[in-house]
Amino acid sequence: MNKLFLQSGAILGLLGVAIGAFGAHAFAKMLEASGRTATFETAVKYQFYHALVLILIGLLFKEIPTKFMTYSGYCMLIGVLIFSGSLYIICFTGIKAFGAVAPIGGTLMIAGWGLLIYAVSRMT
């Protein structure tokens, strides 16, 4: 399980840097014209934060190999895919309806943090 979270975190980190660079350069004018620069930056920021957390969960899993760590990692991974993914879709398509999906991802990320707190607090 820790390998999945380590790899996912590394992939999300790599993509966060690449997508952020494209946003700052290749897509800058389009994002400014649509007024979505802040939305795009939020998506990249949350993706990157949670990439680092997934790596942390992958490393902590050796010390805390519980189902709560596993649930935390899955919530973080699925949450960031839904949250950041829906914001990217809004930025590139202009379909604002995806804004209703973002809170699902945010809720999953919050649950992931809560599960991480719970798993760590149960350590002996």
For 75-95, how does the pLDDT look when each residue is reduced to its tens digit (9 = 90+)? Answer: 999 999 999 999 999 999 999
Instruction: Determine what percent of the chain falls in helix, strand and coil, rounding each to the nearest 5.
Output: 85, 0, 15
The predicted model gives 26-45 an average pLDDT of 93
Helices 67-93, 2-24: axis angle to 10 degrees equals 20
Q: What is the pTM of this model?
A: 0.93
The predicted model gives 23-34 an average pLDDT of 90
The predicted model gives 13-31 an average pLDDT of 93
* 28 CB neighbour count, 10 Å cutoff: 13
C-beta of residue 28 within 8 angstroms of C-beta of residue 36: no
C-beta of residue 76 within 8 angstroms of C-beta of residue 52: no
C-beta of residue 8 within 8 angstroms of C-beta of residue 77: yes
